[in-house]
Chain A
Amino acid sequence: MGDRRLVVGVTVLAGLAAYAVLVPWVAGVDDRVTDFAAARQAPSWAHLFGTDSAGRDLFVRTAAGLRVSLLIAAVCAVLSTVIGALVGALSAVAGGWVDRLTMRVVDGVNAVPHLLLGIVLVALFRGSLVAIIASIALTHWTQVARIVRSEVLSLRDRPHVDAAVLGGATRWRVVHRHLLPAALPQALVAAVLLLPHAVWHESTLSFLGLGLPPHRASLGTLLEEARSSLLLGGWWTLVFPALGLVLATLAVAAVGSGLRDRVALPRRAEATL
């Protein structure tokens, strides 16, 4: 079951990635150029997904938006994973007051709604791509930190860690050569499961007008534009970007849960339960 989900997820994700990368490149059209003579046209052979209120082709613009959204989400997931893995591993290895303090910081970050924290960060640096990435990465590392910390705590008393110490390994070497590699599969699964969350977070910020400037396509800015067109009958301005968002989210979630099942293969006795 997990493998089938993984295959379907990877296939859909590969299709979306190919669409996002190839279409703006092959079409040779700048998705930011407006053509008011062709504004708000329904889907046709000339414009497969129709056009928006400024006459921009939505087939190209959705691809560009998907590319930006996926890219931001991927960068955020990687950053969150790196921050979370480092904080979690150091917290577990240091122990004592360092561990207690770190975990209270994690509790504190978790206690504040992520979107609210993100909005504050983005509002301080309006329209900046770095601020959007920071607003997502700095609010989503806590989950990875908790996972890596618990993994390292369960691993550090295993005989192979004592054996590494006997092999002359320093504390840092034990962490990065013996503990982190063993905790990495769980962290990677957490990172993949973080991706759809990051896509939605970025889209929400853009939808609220706090993300990228309106001329730069992202799934969030496209949905925000669709709000006004929808009342004038332009259903296609909402459907196609929304379809891209939902498909990307489901595909990444399928890949994540498929990977999770692979990492934690049930033992034979459990599989029969």
Chain B
Amino acid sequence: MTPALSVRDLTVRFPLAARRRAPRRVVHAATDVSFDLHAGRVLALVGESGCGKSVLASALLRLLPGNAVVTGSAVLAGSPPVDVLTADERVVGRQVRGRRLALVPQSAATSLTPVRTARSQLEEAVCELAPGTDPRARADELAERVGLAPRDLDLFPHELSGGMAQRVVVALALAGGPAVVLADEPTAGLDRPLANRTLQLLREVADAGCAVLLITHDLGGLLRAPEVADDLAVMYASRLMETGPAAAVLAAPAHDYTRDLLGALPAGGLVPIPGHPPELTDLPAGCAYHARRPDAGRCDGGALHTAALHTGGVRSARCRPLAVALC
């Protein structure tokens, strides 16, 4: 099956301003990141704060600051296929953003213009992204789809609760009927019931045919709601450490970092990971995680190993070949 979005070797660098008598430093925000998003499936991308997850979403939407250096490819399927990393800015602005590739932003309340009602903003997005439809009727339809009463749209952002604001931004993301939805920490700052409801909402979006990338640091939330994510990718210090079907990765992690992340959760015994993530300007050669935890296990320097699963699908992990039992 052709993936809705195929990302290959996506690398993002931010050169910092040169300082006198010091070598020019570069932030390694993302390095050789590859993954596929499929229609109807949710890929959860997890990792500690600052590992480069959100940069990926901004890079795919071409919303990075001007000093970012981006290489690799990210091809959106469809007619015609578009490489969103290299396409002309006008093509991205008029044909991709919101229409084929949408974002559910990190902070819902601040993502709404404070002096206008939710309805006004949603109707504006409908007019821009889906011309020819009745904006009011379409806004009401979107509100109902995300579980809001149409009258809730007449409120200003400061009158919306956190959960309602989150639903409004999901409705905004769906206004253009995108094939791919990127959700950047959509549960940050929400209490547990609201976070669960938001995750379920994204599951419904995927079930309706969208490909969803769910960026989160809340691995516990995914454990509590195993039905939300189909696939899982674990990121550390700008690289994907492990990918595969979510159930398989959570049940039997192949990489030491995934195992330690699960061990740091209450269900895993609350064992904190020793040390700190490295500065992205100063990454060690080889595997960054085993440089932090040399005692964690064997490491071949961070090489990527891939294996096909007998149940279908593919697993990959860095640092050592996947055990036969995991496949």
Name A residues whose Cβ lies closer than 8 Å to a Cβ of B.
158-160, 162-170, 173, 177-178, 181-182, 184
Contact = CB atoms under 8 A, between A and B. Distances in A.
Interface string B182-204: 00000000000000000000000
B129 A182 contact: no
A179 to B, nearest CB: 9
A166 B97 contact: yes
Interface string B99-142: 10011011100111111100001001100110000000000000
A209 B206 CA distance: 75
Interface residues of B, number: 29
B47 interface: no
A167 B113 contact: no
Contacts of B172: 163, 166-167
A160 B124 contact: no
Contacts of B128: 167-169, 173
Contact of A168 (B98, B110, B169): B98
A148 B272 CA distance: 49
Given A159-B105, A160-B110, A166-B103, A181 B97 contact: no
A164 B172 CA distance: 10
A262 to B, nearest CB: 14
A173 B93 CA distance: 13
Contacts of B98: 166-168
Given A168-B125, A168-B128, A162 B111 contact: yes
B124 A167 contact: yes
B63 interface: yes
A166 B106 contact: no
B175 A160 contact: no
A162 B105 contact: yes
A182 B114 contact: yes
A165 B93 CA distance: 8
Given A159-B105, A159-B107, A168-B97, A181 B115 contact: yes
A167 B112 contact: no
B253 interface: no
A167 B129 contact: yes
A167 B175 contact: yes
A162 B63 contact: yes
Contacts of B121: 164, 167
Given A159-B107, A169-B124, A177-B124, A164 B63 contact: no
B189 to A, nearest CB: 13
B7 interface: no
